[in-house]
Structure 1
Amino acid sequence: MASVKLSAPSSQWIAGERSLDRRSRILTAAPRRRVAVGPIRAGSYTDELVQTAKFTASSRHGILAIDEQDAEASIGLDNTEANRQAYRQLLLTTPGLGEYISGAILFEETLYQSTTGGKKFVDCLRQEKIMPGIKVDKGLVPLPGSNNESWCQGLDGLASRCAEYYKQGARFAKWRTVVSIPCGPSALAVKEAAWGLARYAAIAQDNGLVPIVEPEILLDGDHPIERTLEVAEKVWAEVFYYLAENNVVFEGILLKPSMVTPGAEHKEKASPEMIAKYTLKMLNRRVPPAVPGIMFLSGGQSEMEATRNLNAMNQASNPWHVSFSYARALQNTVLKTWQGRLENVVAAQKALLVRAKANSLAQLGHYSAKGESEEAKTGMFQKGYTY
């Protein structure tokens, strides 16, 4: 299919300037640098890291993850730079997106791209008071000596890349590794995942980026929810042990965990209330209250499932900001609405706002599934999903 060209956003797409509030001051303020005293440190960025993490984990807001390089392929578009630019322009020029989204995870290409009208995507985000973030890992590869498991690569050269991303405007980072329950998981895979996340987090903080820590426990398998809880507790215990070993500042990180659910092929489907119960049990047992934000991944759930489960968790009392960092669970309907056509851009942007608002309400525990579309109810599980 031919590449899609978008014209520059019209003036009516651009949201009016809002008065400077706390969120905008954080985005525009010069970095505040101070060397922390004692073994817990993050280079000279400690104050800024804490401020950035709190900003991103602010009430009513979550994260839009658009770091998948070929999301357009799901609607049959060729994976070309022009198509990727067109889709990201649709997302990042959505007027009013900052009402519900506080951060956007970008692919490296997007961090340096501009709209077809020449406006940097980073500036589009800043206009909406959205913090730019960046995916920094280099993907999954087979882990030798394991039970057919994977590990995440990308530590080589990470410090210099983070420094460049910071100069370009990024203020937080993301590193995704995975753990597979049907594969064991092996002690080697869990340790490798935890150590890699900790090294990444320390390097990111040393270069001014708040690290999102994401050990995704895949939905693959037919195990019950109790088995997922057992594995999740083990993984997060290892992760926080190595984060502490690497002197990572807990107040300057964000977590992106999987929700605790049964395996996708388990015979009994869990209710949102049960998922919330087991997920919060895991968090309370393993996550220090110093961590400012828990930004859940959707992991192949349908748009509605991810929102309902988040809503159930926010109907309980939590010491953290419990919110979302969704990719497909925010964009599935958007992509299906857009279909790569210029005339569908405004409708697709409205679909994005519908999903962002739904999850904003869920972050407050006020979401209702009444009126959800059939598309929003469609599951998106893919066995062994990697990107």
Structure 2
Amino acid sequence: MNDEQLSRVRGGGGFFAALDQSGGSTPKALEAYGVAPDQYSSSSEMFDVMHTFRVRIATSPAFDERILGAILFEDTMHRDIDGTPSARYLWDTKRIVPFVKIDKGLVDRSDDVQVMAPIDGLDMLLVQARDHGIFGTKARSVVHGASRSGIASIVAQQFEIGEQVLAAGLVPILEPEISVDSDTKQEAESLMLESILESLENVSAPVLLKLTLPEVTGFYEPLVHHRNVHRVVALSGGYSLDEATRRLAANHGVIASFSRALTGALRIDQSDEEFNRVLDETIEKIAEASRT
């Protein structure tokens, strides 16, 4: 584990850029960018276009020290940015700590949650990640309602995968997302906090937590200050940039890990000057909300 990266993750300023759109979310991200589905003919071509978009973000002068860490899609980890392997480019050129998404999507909804699908080949992926200079991982599951048993199963799976990541010498981001559209979101948050606090007592080493911005301001403060939590980061979860940053600024000690809210105003037909200006304004707004 890189001590300089660990120090930056634990106490550095800035926020996480989530650049880990997968096969399911990439078409929507590209469409928002201005690339319609009929403009590529295969998944391979789609990922080529998406990588070009990510390279444009990563090489922008606006993508600077305000970005603490970046979460990459596995495909991105195996590609280059400006002739350098992506993770090493982020750290060596930008001093941005690289993470990689390891989950393979979700199973069908049951008990008001969606647990992660089996992650085939995880041990090999973790070895590859370490060889690429990746610092940590991210794995996502989703809670749709306030089911005590469902949330317990989500959290148990998150920590089980997290232990496998820790054993491989990497640091996990656990992401048990609660849907912003849930009719019982606040009740689900109470159950989630209870379950996470219980699991943190037995985790073998500190982790990061990526959570949906809560209904009650400061609700996750016990996690922010927990001895076994490096950092609590927040997903935008479909909130607009304005709403996500408003909620984030009110939750002291929590920093952003935004995806759609980060890239939503970027367009393929923008000039480089316009693209960089829009990205800079967005990054500054998110960074400011993360400083509280």
TM-score normalized with structure 1 length: 0.66
1:323-354 Cα distance to aligned partner (Å, 9 max, x none)? 100001111012xxx22x4x623422322221
Hey, what does 2:85 align to over in structure 1? 120
Secondary structure at 2:255 match in 1? strand
Question: Structure 1 or 2: larger strand share?
Answer: 2
Change in CA separation of 1:154 and 1:348 when aligned onto 2, cut-off 3 Å? farther
Q: 1:189 to 1:63 in 2, by over 3 A?
A: same
CA contact (8 A) 1:155 1:200 kept: no
1:284 aligned partner: 221
Structure 1 residue corresponding to 2:241, chosen from 303, 310, 314: 303
Cα RMSD, aligned residues only: 2.3
Larger radius of gyration: 1
Q: Which one of the candidate residues 184, 202, 206 is aligned to 2:163?
A: 202
Q: Which residue does 1:18 correspond to in 2? A: none
Aligned residue pairs total 277
Mapped pair 1:238 → 2:175: no
The 1:158–1:197 alpha-carbon spacing in structure 2 relative to 1, beyond 3 Å, is same
- Does the C-alpha gap of structure 1 residues 148 and 207 become closer, same or farther in structure 2, counting only changes over 3 Å? same
Residues 236, 163 of structure 1: CA spacing in aligned structure 2 closer, same or farther, 3 A cutoff? farther
How many angstroms does 1:298 deviate by?
0.7
SS in 2 for 1:196: helix
Question: How far apart, CA to CA, are the structure 1 residues paired with 2:144 and 2:212?
Answer: 12
Unaligned regions of 5+ residues in structure 2, if any?
none
Q: Report matched runs for 1:136-175 at 5 Å.
A: 136-142=102-108, 146-147=110-111, 149-175=113-139
Equivalent in the alignment of 1:333: 265
User: Does the 8 A contact of 1:180 with 1:217 survive in 2?
Assistant: yes
CA contact (8 A) 1:114 1:121 kept: yes
Matches within 5 A, 1:1-387: 31=1, 48=3, 52-69=5-22, 70=26, 71-74=29-32, 75-77=34-36, 78=40, 80-115=46-81, 117-126=82-91, 127-142=93-108, 146-147=110-111, 149-181=113-145, 185-221=146-182, 223=183, 227-245=184-202, 247-250=203-206, 253-261=207-215, 278-280=216-218, 282-285=219-222, 288-290=225-227, 291-314=229-252, 321-334=253-266, 338-339=267-268, 341=269, 344-365=271-292
CA contact (8 A) 1:176 1:215 kept: yes
**Counterpart residue number, 1:7:** none
TM-score (norm 2): 0.86
After superposition, the Cα gap between the structure-2 partners of 1:255 and 1:162, relative to the gap in structure 1 and judged at 3 Å, is same
Q: What is the identity, as a one-letter code, of the residue corresponding to 2:221?
A: N
Letter in 1 for 2:154: A
Q: 1:244 to 1:285 in 2, by over 3 A?
A: closer
Q: Cα deviation per residue 1:28-51 (whole Å; 9 max; x = unaligned)?
A: xxx47xxxxxxxxxxxxxxx5xx6
Aligned match of 1:6: none
CA distance, structure 1, for counterparts of residue 84 and residue 222 of structure 2: 45
Unaligned runs of 5+ in 1: 1-30, 33-47, 262-277, 315-320, 366-387
- Check 1:286–1:131 CA distance in 2 against 1; reply closer, same or farther (3 A cut): closer
Deviation by residue 1:140-184 (Cα, 9 ceiling, x = unmatched): 1125xx346421124443233112111111101101111012xxx
- Note the alpha carbon deviations across 1:235-267, whole angstroms, 9 max, x for none: 13223323444x3313xx111111123xxxxxx
- Deviations along 1:31-76, one digit per CA (max 9) or x if unpaired, are 47xxxxxxxxxxxxxxx5xx64441243431000010131213333
Partner Cα distance (1:360, 1:90) in 2: 20
Shift of 1:130: 0.3
Tell me the percent identity: 26
